[in-house]
Amino acid sequence: MNELLKRVLFAVPAAAIFLYLTWLGEWYFNSVVILIGLFIVQELMRLLDKAGSPADPYFPYTIGMWIMLFPVLSYRFEILIVIFLLFAVVQTFTQTEDAIDRLSSTFFAGAYSSFGLLSLMLVRSVSDNETGFFLTVSILLMVWGTDIFAYFGGKTFGKHKLAPEISPNKTWEGFFSGFIGSFIGLGIMFLIHPEQAPLPLAFCVPWIVLVASLGPVGDLLESKIKRKAGVKDSSHILPGHGGFFDRFDALLLAAPASYLFLKFMEIMGYVSF
């Protein structure tokens, strides 16, 4: 079985299941997102270790769970204080040469993907079920559209390297082609469910630009870490797709940007959730 066929045979049913869970929402959706978040934390810890910046083996999971469960936790500030105190004590008495590096690596491993996925869950929980579904799937389609058009745009027109020291194959032509994919991704949702759109399409141009701009940055950040770690994929858990970090890297920055955009539009009075 060739690699492309393997990718398609896994991606199609996986995407269908994920979209179904997104439609169900609430803890059906949140549980799978949190599970994905924990897998990414694990993969990121492994990458940082290979890159020479190991994290604490336990606290990234604790930090990640606190962030992703933040909206539903009781006594969340008090829980944070407990985590902070335990972390400070453990790291103080850790007698290894990389003890100082662990401070920043532990926080980054626990917080990076967790903030992104928390933002996705917050978008899914806005307003009624239909609107939350519309907004969440819009983000996914914009990210996927950006990725697809950036790839083929770069293959077809690419001449000027975007970040050759990080990802030699990415080009500025591919980057700007991604804007078209982001627009098409959102446009698909407007065509399928126009009645659920909380904003006119014209008002969503900044959203399209944010996703198309920050999605590739998330991709490049992961590429930078993998290059330092000397690996091609974050793991091999997903057939033909590498790891969860490989598949959700762009979403981890696109989702927070989307959440901020939607909150800004709500504050300005253009939409009410």
Q: DSSP string spanning 56-120?
A: PSSHHHHHHHHHHTGGG-SSHHHHHHHHHHHHHHHHHT--STTHHHHHHHHHHHHHHHHHHHHHH
Residue 151's contacts (CB-CB under 8 Å, 6 or more residues apart) are 174
φ and ψ at 55, to 5 degrees? -105, 165
pLDDT score at 1: 54
pLDDT score at 92: 85
Over residues 51-101, the pLDDT tens digits come to 999 999 999 999 999 999 999 999 999 999 999 999 989 888 887 777 777
User: Would you say 149 and 177 are in contact if contact means Cβ atoms under 8 Å apart?
Assistant: yes
User: Would you say 161 and 171 are in contact if contact means Cβ atoms under 8 Å apart?
Assistant: yes
pLDDT score at 4: 61
Q: Could you tell me how far CA 13 lies from the centroid of its own chain?
A: 20
Please give the Cα distance from 98 to 56 (Å, whole number). Answer: 10
pTM of the model: 0.93
Residues lower than pLDDT 70 in the chain: 1-5
pLDDT score at 134: 96
Q: Could you tell me how far CA 221 lies from the centroid of its own chain?
A: 11
Rg (CA), the chain: 19
pLDDT score at 95: 76
pLDDT score at 2: 61
Collapsed DSSP state (helix, strand, coil) of residue 161: strand
Tokens of 191: 């065509």
User: Would you say 59 and 40 are in contact if contact means Cβ atoms under 8 Å apart?
Assistant: no
Please give the Cα distance from 8 to 240 (Å, whole number). Answer: 8
